[in-house]
């Protein structure tokens, strides 16, 4: 389908169904969950193990071919995701000790965060191997396919380029990239906008999102929406 033909009321109905699924099947699996959890594709958001905590207004997007997984290994670890964090399809966070993701962080598609080696180099049949906590400070942005390894702290506002492997800590307010990732350019402090700003506007975020989608879907009708499934190009 080349564009979204849904009527606005269909978008609202889908949102209510997703919210009901999240409330009934996902939130009970969490040890803590703030208000405003939004999951697009909730059937593909996999939560495994205890001690998983999500803050307020955390947004998760998951796809059948790219599920999102938050896993605590045999009850030994802890995952903390702070307010306003965005987690995109294919992201995987797996903890044996502690992983803390700060306020307003963004995890792009297919990112991976681990706080363990999982197997010792010499004694490979024993898991989880060496462990060390991982901390992402507020407003960190991990690009697509970034791998964050055990014992790493990434400073606030830092951006990590796609495909990087973060095996050692990175300072705040830099752009980093590479394998191993290293700081390649400073970021100016302040003056930008963050996900936190999105939820602290003059109007509530839910109203802002509804107004945006209402305008985007303006003029769409029920029968043209149905017809677009049969004749996707003919309805352009």
pLDDT of residue 234: 60
pLDDT of residue 118: 83
Looking at residues 28-52, what average pLDDT do you find?
95
pLDDT digits (tens, 9 = 90+) for 155-170: 999 999 999 999 999 9
pLDDT of residue 47: 96
Task: For residue 77, name the pLDDT band (cuts at 50, 70, 90).
Answer: very high
* CATH superfamily name and code, 33-200: Hexapeptide repeat proteins (2.160.10.10)
Asked if 33 and 19 count as a contact pair (C-beta separation under 8 A), the reply is no
For 90, half-sphere exposure in the C-beta direction (CA atoms, 13 angstrom radius) is 12
Looking at residues 101-123, what average pLDDT do you find?
91
Round to whole Å and give the CA distance between 32 and 100.
14
pLDDT digits (tens, 9 = 90+) for 187-198: 876 667 889 888
Identify which has the larger pLDDT, 111 or 75: 111
The domain limits of the chain are 1-30+202-236, 33-200
Q: Which of 61-70, 199-208, 224-233 has the lowest mean pLDDT?
A: 224-233
Residue at token pair 């350019």 = 185
Asked if 160 and 136 count as a contact pair (C-beta separation under 8 A), the reply is no
| pLDDT at residue 29 greater than cutoff 80 | yes
Looking at residues 177-190, what average pLDDT do you find?
90
Task: For residue 1, name the pLDDT band (cuts at 50, 70, 90).
Answer: low
Asked if 56 and 82 count as a contact pair (C-beta separation under 8 A), the reply is no
| C-alpha closest to that of 140 among 165, 176, 109 | 176
Looking at residues 20-45, what average pLDDT do you find?
95
Over the Cα atoms of the chain, what is R_g? 20
pLDDT of residue 119: 76
| pLDDT at residue 62 greater than cutoff 80 | yes
Round to whole Å and give the CA distance between 99 and 94.
8
């Amino acid at each position: 389908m080349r564009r979204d033909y849904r009527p606005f009321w269909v978008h609202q109905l889908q949102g209510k169904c997703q919210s009901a699924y999240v409330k009934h099947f996902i939130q009970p699996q969490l040890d803590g969950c703030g208000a405003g959890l939004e999951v697009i594709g909730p059937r593909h958001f996999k939560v495994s193990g205890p001690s998983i905590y999500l803050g307020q207004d955390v947004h998760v997007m998951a796809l059948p071919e790219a599920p999102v997984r938050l896993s605590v290994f045999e009850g030994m670890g802890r995952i903390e995701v702070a307010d306003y964090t965005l987690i995109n399809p294919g992201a995987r966070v797996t903890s044996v000790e502690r992983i803390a993701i700060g306020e307003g962080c963004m995890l792009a598609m297919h990112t991976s965060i681990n706080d363990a080696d999982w197997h010792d180099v010499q004694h490979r049949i024993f898991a989880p191997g060496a462990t060390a906590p991982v901390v992402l400070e507020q407003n960190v942005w991990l690009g697509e396919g970034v791998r964050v390894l055990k014992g790493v702290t990434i400073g606030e506002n830092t951006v990590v380029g796609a495909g990087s492997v973060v095996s050692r800590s990175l300072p705040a307010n830099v752009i980093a990239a590479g394998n191993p990732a290293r700081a390649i350019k400073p970021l100016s402090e302040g003056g930008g906008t963050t996900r936190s700003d999105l939820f602290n506007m003059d109007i509530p975020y839910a109203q802002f999102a509804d107004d945006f989608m209402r305008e985007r879907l303006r003029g769409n009708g029920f029968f043209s929406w149905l017809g677009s499934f049969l004749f996707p190009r003919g309805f352009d």
